[in-house]
A and B are shown apart, each in its own frame.
Chain A
Amino acid sequence: MQRVLTVCPHCSCGCGLYLLVDRGEVVGVMPSAGHPVSRGSLCLKGWTSFQHLRRSERLESPHIRKNGELEAVSWDLALSRVIEGLQGVRETHGGQAVGFWASGRTTNEELSLLDRIATEGFETQAVWLDPCLHTMDHVPGSLLEGPRAARFDEIPAADLLVIFGQNLHEHHPQVASRILRAMDQGKRGAVVSLRRDLLAGRAILHLQTPAPEEVAASLADGTGAEPTPFRALLMEAARPLLIYPLKSLPLLREIQLLQAVERLLRRFPAKVLLLFPRANSRGAFHRRKGRGLSDMRGLKALMVLEENPAGWEDGFRDLVPELELLVLQDLFLTETAALAHVVLPSASFAEKGGTLLNTEGRAQGLQPAVPPPGDARPGWAILAELARRLGISDVGSTLEEIQRGMRLEQVGAAPVPTRPGPVSRAASDPPRLQHIPDRLGYLWLSDTLLRHTDDWQREHQDRWIEVHPEDAKELGLRPGWVVHVAGEGCDFTATVRISDAVGRGILCSPHALVEGRVSLDRAA
């Protein structure tokens, strides 16, 4: 077994891991002991990150839809179809009708090529970013760069750790580990979240609230002789660190929270660590351009890279009938592939090069350890070929040439949008519960890689919801019952788990991304 050092493809911690390669196959992975992020550890996502590589469902050839069915074709045919389709839409409807949707896994090189294809090939800026990103224009640059932006190794040095969010041990375990170890050493933790999780249980203060943005605002703006215990903690601290996992809240409330965090930085000698969702979400954030999903009207052609919007985004299915061309570049046939006109097979993280920017801003390189299966190609190679066919001649044909042509200085602060209006919240009305999407180690509905990871499939066969024991009593629910959850942005069946880790009137589930009011019925 030889070892090839690369970067974990999952969350934005960016662990250094070795692919264990024997006779031309990746047979396993292990963490790098010396890597500054992984330090000898991985979470289950990292440890199982090789399992999707040789799944029999891997896409091995390009496909074109003919008479309603996807048919395997040659690369030349598939790419010709893509070029003809995109150019046809440009001629009929203009370049603005062409869109591209990258994901938080798309490498910086691929994003750079995508940018050139959009701007030079179609004179459009309609580059969409992954579901975790298209609403992120509001992140103030000062929270990401400059003297107040913290890195992981500053966690042990903080004397107060303020966490706005829950389940860090599931979705950003390396950060949770550093926080937990700091608290073991006597450092104070204050957690503002809905769910009493591992870190909240160890913290000196846990504010169990569904509205962390209001707590942040009152901390930042509060006055008066008698400070709340939380503000007293902040006032005592010499080196507080504020931590927030992005996309934990709906857009407007997240904006409120980030603006409150900015004000907190002005008032207290605090640092801040924002946690992006996916491996290259930060890289994609810095290169973001154009519109978000809410502004997809008028789109006639769309190319989606390693993302599965049809699997979770309600608005996406409504858009599809309007599209004259839907192209998907991915490893597996997903719900989005079922709607696509052309599907291009792409290489996995272990089969390609490229760079990823972790949530601290650490640029790290992927290293190919094995060739992609069948006719699959690295994403950058597919995009470079598309660019060439569109007449963009100087993109380069190797990864090194593409990197030389990249505009790496595109990293910069984002504009802060205008202040949003107050967010209304309906009064509690049991038995209707407030559904809170609870991020675990993954976004179940959209994570194509984890859905094709055997151990994750086995571990999470059932969807589940979590409710407070009192609510369960009131609703007559028993653990293990299968219920139908319906309401705003939700329509699914799930198994009941009962836990006082969640507050009253709250329903937590990791299986839907939209927050809203829901009701429950026992499924037949």
Chain B
Amino acid sequence: MASEARHVIQREAVPAWVAALMAEAMVIGPRRGSAGDAELAPLTAVEELDLGYTHDLLPPTRYLLPPSEVLFRFQDGDGVRLEPQYDDRRRIFFGIRSCDVKGIRYQEQFFQRDFPDIYFLTRRANASLVSLACPAPPLPTCFCTCCDGGPTLQSGEGYDIQLTPLAGRYLAEVDSETGERLVSKAPELFQEARAADLSERDRILAGVEQRFSTTAYLARGIAKLTNDAVPAALWEELAERCIRCGGCTYLCPLCTCFTVCDRRRNGQGERFRRWDHCLLSGFTREASGHNPRAEKAQQFKRRFFHKLSYQYLEREGRPGCVGCGRCLTTCMMGVDMAAVLMRLRDAGRRPKWGPAWAAKPKTSP
């Protein structure tokens, strides 16, 4: 349900509001971490909050689907005793970016479908989302405008409250009862938004798309992938650069893959799951030893096919990418989403990337 109440909160009143929220839940907000990196982490003091942050390399979805988690503990002996380990801690994500709200929304839909994932859904049910609209790209790697991942959200897109920075204050758009509850923790700090506030919001956000410098050519990439119009040689060339680090999937706010393992010692054990990724051979190897996608080029192609074609056409009606730009930062070898899409667009046309990319004869000594 959308209540669509609009409030204004003064910039200097935000810490008092966050302090009220911290009294009832873990507030995961932006702060400056060690080594100077921006991070979304459980705030220990309200002074840590830094809403002027850029972007956290770790998407907030990794709080809901952690890198590893214990699913249940068990004990050998007479009968089997299982103790499921649910994480129902109350979390308020405060000041997360629009793209990350879409990531959480996507994962929620994924984990509700077919086999409801109680571990993820328990965490999600206990999480509230206060998003922060981007009047400018936080980082030059951002390309949410290419995939409808941001830079702002509309009612019904998953936020409980959306904050938009105005001069000296924030516009707070409430989109759920949960959002109302968060406001009610310190109602005295909020004023009713007036027409002037809304027109200032419109002015600040007007033309925001033009401020993004990274482009991802999704339409052409989706078309070529779907029609199998990408030459195999291009997949091999791109895949050769991939070192299978997995960073693009571990940091993707939409990736959901994990593997399940057991750990046991002295008659006790635990079953846990841990992030996994589709560029490893072991990801698809079957028990017989046969691997339907043994070659790196096949694995690499599959990743992009899944995100851009399968997910788009068969399941969601939208690409499996919100344009957060994390893979552009983390890919050491430059085969991230935007770069690969550019090569797909240019396949069969003149090469776009520097001289080293073009095939050239090798000289001998």
Which residues of A are at the interface with B, using a C-beta cutoff of 8 A? Answer: 1-5, 16, 18, 20, 22, 27-35, 39-44, 46-47, 50-51, 54-56, 169-170, 173-174, 176-177, 180-181, 183-186, 189, 198, 201-202, 204-207, 215, 228-230, 454-455, 458-459, 461
Contacts A176-B332, A180-B333, A205-B362 known; 19 new A-B pairs at CB < 8 A: A22-B66, A29-B67, A30-B57, A30-B251, A31-B247, A33-B57, A35-B35, A40-B57, A42-B245, A42-B247, A50-B68, A51-B274, A176-B243, A183-B354, A198-B241, A201-B240, A205-B365, A229-B363, A455-B280
Q: Does any Cβ of A come within 8 Å of B165's Cβ?
A: no
Determine whether the beta carbon of A180 is less than 8 Å from that of B334. Answer: yes
Determine whether the beta carbon of B353 is less than 8 Å from that of A184. Answer: yes
For B77, the chain A residues whose CB sits under 8 A away are: none
Identity of the chain B residue whose Cβ is nearest the Cβ of A184 in the assembled complex = B354
CB within 8 Å for A47 and B245 given contacts A3-B33, A32-B35, A184-B334: yes
Q: Does any Cβ of A come within 8 Å of B215's Cβ?
A: no
CB within 8 Å for A459 and B282 given contacts A28-B67, A28-B68, A30-B57: yes
Q: How far is the CA of A1 from the CA of B44 in the complex (A)?
A: 12
Q: Does any Cβ of A come within 8 Å of B69's Cβ?
A: yes
Q: Flag B332-365 by CB within 8 Å of A: 1 or 0 each.
A: 1110000000000000000001111100101111
Determine whether the beta carbon of B263 is less than 8 Å from that of A56. Answer: yes
For B250, the chain A residues whose CB sits under 8 A away are: 30, 47
Q: Does any Cβ of A come within 8 Å of B329's Cβ?
A: yes
Q: How far is the CA of A202 from the CA of B265 in the complex (A)?
A: 49
> 26 interchain pairs (CB within 8 A)?
A2-B41, A16-B35, A18-B37, A27-B69, A28-B66, A29-B67, A30-B250, A31-B57, A40-B57, A41-B329, A41-B331, A42-B247, A42-B330, A44-B245, A176-B333, A177-B333, A180-B333, A183-B354, A205-B363, A205-B365, A206-B362, A229-B364, A454-B261, A458-B282, A459-B280, A459-B281
Determine whether the beta carbon of A458 is less than 8 Å from that of B280. Answer: yes
Q: Does any Cβ of A come within 8 Å of B42's Cβ?
A: yes
CB within 8 Å for A230 and B365 given contacts A20-B67, A41-B330, A183-B356: yes
For B235, the chain A residues whose CB sits under 8 A away are: none
CB within 8 Å for A174 and B332 given contacts A1-B63, A34-B37, A207-B365: yes
Q: How far is the CA of A441 from the CA of B360 in the complex (A)?
A: 28
**A198 touches which one: B57, B66, B240, B281 (CB < 8 A)?**
B240
For A4, the chain B residues whose CB sits under 8 A away are: 34
Determine whether the beta carbon of A43 is less than 8 Å from that of B245. Answer: yes
Determine whether the beta carbon of B356 is less than 8 Å from that of A170. Answer: no
Determine whether the beta carbon of A3 is less than 8 Å from that of B243. Answer: no
5 nearest A-B residue pairs (beta carbon) = A28-B67, A177-B332, A458-B282, A40-B329, A183-B356
Q: Does any Cβ of A come within 8 Å of B58's Cβ?
A: yes
For A176, the chain B residues whose CB sits under 8 A away are: 243, 332-333
Measured CB to CB, the closest approach of chain A to B255, in angstroms, equals 13
Identity of the chain B residue whose Cβ is nearest the Cβ of A48 in the assembled complex = B246
Measured CB to CB, the closest approach of chain B to A371, in angstroms, equals 17
Measured CB to CB, the closest approach of chain A to B127, in angstroms, equals 14
Q: How far is the CA of A91 from the CA of B39 in the complex (A)?
A: 57
**B330 touches which one: A20, A40, A186 (CB < 8 A)?**
A40
For A46, the chain B residues whose CB sits under 8 A away are: 245
Determine whether the beta carbon of A5 is less than 8 Å from that of B34. Answer: yes
For A170, the chain B residues whose CB sits under 8 A away are: 243
CB within 8 Å for A181 and B334 given contacts A1-B41, A43-B243: yes
Q: How far is the CA of A20 from the CA of B331 in the complex (A)?
A: 20
**A44 touches which one: B41, B68, B240, B246 (CB < 8 A)?**
B246
**A184 touches which one: B247, B275, B356 (CB < 8 A)?**
B356
CB within 8 Å for A455 and B37 given contacts A28-B66, A56-B263: no
Measured CB to CB, the closest approach of chain B to A176, in angstroms, equals 8
For B362, the chain A residues whose CB sits under 8 A away are: 205-206
Q: Which of B262-281 contact A (CB under 8 A)?
A: 263-265, 274-276, 280-281
Q: Does any Cβ of A come within 8 Å of B301's Cβ?
A: no
Q: How far is the CA of A201 from the CA of B274 in the complex (A)?
A: 35
Determine whether the beta carbon of B245 is less than 8 Å from that of A34. Answer: no
Q: Flag B28-50 by CB within 8 Å of A: 1 or 0 each.
A: 00000111111101100000000
Measured CB to CB, the closest approach of chain B to A266, in angstroms, equals 22
Q: How far is the CA of A210 from the CA of B50 in the complex (A)?
A: 55
For A173, the chain B residues whose CB sits under 8 A away are: 243, 245, 332
Q: Does any Cβ of A come within 8 Å of B244's Cβ?
A: yes
